[in-house]
Amino acid sequence: MRIICSKQNLLNGVQIVSKAVPGKTTMPILECILIDASKGVISLTANDMELGIETIVDGDIVEPGIVAIDAKFLLEIVRKLPDNFVVISTDSSFKTSITCEKAKFDIAGKSGDDFSMLPVISKNEFIVLRQFTLKDLVRQTIFSIADNDNNKMMTGELFQIEGSRLKVVSLDGHRISIRKVDLREEYTNRKVVVPGKTLNEVSKILNGDAESEVMIYFTDKHIVFEFGTTTVVSRLIEGEYFRIDQMLNGDYETKVHINKKELLSCIDRATLLIKEGDKKPIIMNISDEYMELTINSVVGSMNEEIDIAKSGKDLMIGFNPKFLIDALRVVDLEEIDMYMLNPKSPCIIKDEEDTFTYLILPVNFTTVR
């Protein structure tokens, strides 16, 4: 094999597929990136058996062929090459040379025949989204997934298609994030749970262009994202997702209309008094014209008042400040509505158009006088 391509094109391709290279594995071939120039294009592929990524790189094929190269070495070598054209060539024993200007590396490659190729997926069921929309959906929900595998279902996000609407749900046992978007046409109803890792990596690769599209294909066990010259294939998390409708009932006795930026800034200031690892709640004392926010820690205390419009009962309620910050940061509105029932029931932040819902469970607290 002998191929020639620009350093930047090659580096972009290697960086994209490297996201599917496993950190630890008992299969050394999975630590490699497959360079395949045997089918008329230069494709790069990585696959950890749960997540696989393939992308096409612009370049010239002088001699067709295929080789697997250690991903870590390939990425570091290409990253530090001069900004010029790169020549990659292999011999019959898969010894690989990477040359750019006067720099030349000789490394041991492996047979591409041993590489685990991406599964061939049926493309009968699909939806189409703008890249910007998908990137936004992930940004506005991914923070609510669980960060450990104690409950596998919580490490993924529900993608639920109902006619011409897509609903994305994430939860970690303390909060729920829901985003809904309208699709351009009617699709087959379907529910799948997509690993959070997959959505994180897809979001990093997407350029977020409002005009470019993503094709998303579904099967019983896989999801496929196709955009530009890149294909991402991921296993789904199998099982029944949580039933959350009961927690989202419309009962409330206190409704607060508040400036989002003021609330976010206030909570952000309050967290200055919380040491890492401390679990100190921020306490909201809600009355007719203002909300008083208070925090007490070993470092000190802070309280601040924010003007609000309230309907319903006065209420004192405590929350993990991080959970409030995470939700408020991704709400793209100047003013928000918060709905609460009592100090033991969740707070729900939602808009009138029903495009987003954030539910946050309260925490117990003791008042300090």
Q: Rounded to an integer, what distance in angstroms lies between the CA atom of residue 348 and that of residue 366? A: 23
End-to-end CA distance of the chain: 76
pLDDT of residue 213: 96
What are the Cα distances from residue 273, in Å, to 283, 293, 329, 352, 360? 14, 13, 20, 35, 22
The token duo for 76 is: 């570091």
pLDDT of residue 66: 96
What are the Cα distances from residue 336, in Å, to 139, 182, 352? 19, 21, 10
- Maximum CA pair distance of the chain? 80
Per CATH, the number for 2-114 is 3.10.150.10
The token duo for 160 is: 């639920």
Give the CA count within 13 Å in the CB-facing half-sphere of 298.
Answer: 5
Record: fold of 125-245: DNA Polymerase III; Chain A, domain 2 (3.10.150)
Please tell me if the domain spanning 2-114 has the same topology as the one spanning 249-360. Answer: yes
Exposed/middle/buried for residue 40 (C-beta within 10 Å: 0-12, 13-18, 19+): exposed
Report residue 354: phi and psi, to 5°. 60, 40
Give the sheet arrangement for strand 42-47, strand by strand: 66-70, 32-36, 42-47, 51-57, 230-235, 222-227, 213-218, 125-130
Q: Which amino acid is at 81?
A: L
Question: 255, 279 in Cβ contact below 8 A?
Answer: no
pLDDT of residue 148: 83
Q: Which residue has the tokens 């539910």?
A: 359
The token duo for 178 is: 């829901």
CATH of 249-360, one of 3.10.150.10, 1.10.1050.10, 3.40.640.10, 3.30.465.10: 3.10.150.10
Q: What is the pLDDT along the chain (369 residues), one digit of tens a residue?
A: 999 999 999 999 999 999 999 988 888 999 999 999 999 999 999 999 999 999 999 999 999 999 999 999 999 999 999 999 999 999 999 999 999 999 999 999 999 988 999 999 989 999 999 999 999 999 999 999 998 878 999 999 999 999 999 999 999 999 999 999 999 999 999 999 999 999 999 999 998 888 899 999 999 999 999 999 999 999 999 999 999 988 888 899 999 999 999 999 999 999 999 887 788 899 999 999 999 999 998 889 999 999 999 999 999 999 999 999 999 999 999 999 999 999 999 999 999 999 999 999 999 987 654
What are the Cα distances from residue 162, in Å, to 141, 181, 214, 221? 19, 11, 19, 19
What are the residue boundaries of the structural domains of the chain, listed by start?
A: 2-114, 125-245, 249-360
